[in-house]
Structure 1
């Protein structure tokens, strides 16, 4: 009987240790999951909520593209805007939305890619319950930067994500 209790206790200790190691590994992975730096907090009227930006690459590149890692807190988002040269978004973390003016919002998650044609008015940002990050590439940047139109109101946001 004592031997059986010892074996049961040993089994329980091994299972609990295994669970703790799995939790520790998950914690370490989530802390280091982002490949790109979060960057600096943006203080701009062109965004609602808390957003960070880490620009990447040289500003004087002959690639005619600007790109950066953008991270949004839950509910944070861009204003309505367009890009004369188009834009591509590579979703790297969390859940968010992309909406073209006059169309339903598209739910986005890690691994999604959004190709935004030239001069299409849109916004993108985080879901209400998730941080959200993407690499944003502004194409043909020699044709001009983003054209900012105006805020996505709380009402527009809530309606879009329903």
Structure 2
């Protein structure tokens, strides 16, 4: 057993992967053979990820606020505090806050053998992010 009493400082979500103000806090990244990675992600109103996918899928658990999640080819869906979302391996998607509310979620992924957790793509277009 190992108890971590300190963690890395909060990191701003890089503009290459996020639209708007996003803060990332690494919760867990245990040493190998574990491939688990867990982050607490805080989105300001309207902030969201670019399109991306994860080699082993992703679990999101909404802690507070209201947000949106969309898979490629599907409709954007509202997510709220208490919701848990399973995103299939290699499923293109994006997620973030609703237009007028903050949203915080836990994000859990498993790294691939090469250490990759995420494959990033284009930013979500203005016609894809619902503002109403």
Give the TM interval when normalised to the shorter protein. Answer: 0.7 to 0.9
Measure how far apart 1:148 and its partner are: 0.6
CA offsets per residue over residues 61-87 of structure 1, 9 Å max, x none? 432111100000001000000001110
Shift in Å at residue 42 of structure 1? 2.1
- 105-114 vs 139-148, which deviates more? 139-148
Quick check: 1:65 aligned with 2:65?
no
Matched residue, 2:92: 121
Counterpart for residue 118 of structure 2: 146
1:87-106 alpha-carbon deviations (Å, 9 max, x no partner): 00010010001100110111
Q: What count of residue pairs does the alignment treat as equivalent?
A: 124
Give me the CA root mean square deviation.
2.0
The answer to which structure has the higher strand fraction is 2
Matched, 1:76 2:76: no
Greater C-alpha Rg: 1
Q: Which runs of 5+ in 1 are unaligned?
A: 1-37
Q: Quote the residue 2:75 is aligned against.
A: 104
TM normalised by structure 2 equals: 0.85
CA contact (8 A) 2:67 2:79 kept: yes
Structure 2 residue runs without a partner (length 5+): 1-8
* Greater RCO (CA < 8 Å, at least 6 residues apart): 2
Show structure 1 runs of 4+ deviating over 6 A: none
| Deviations, residues 21-70 of structure 1 (Å, cap 9, x unaligned) | xxxxxxxxxxxxxxxxx933223311000000001123524321111000
Aligned residue number for residue 157 of structure 1: 129
Taking the aligned partners of 2:101 and 2:32, their CA distance within structure 1 comes to: 34
TM-score (norm 1): 0.70
Bigger fraction of residues in helix = 1
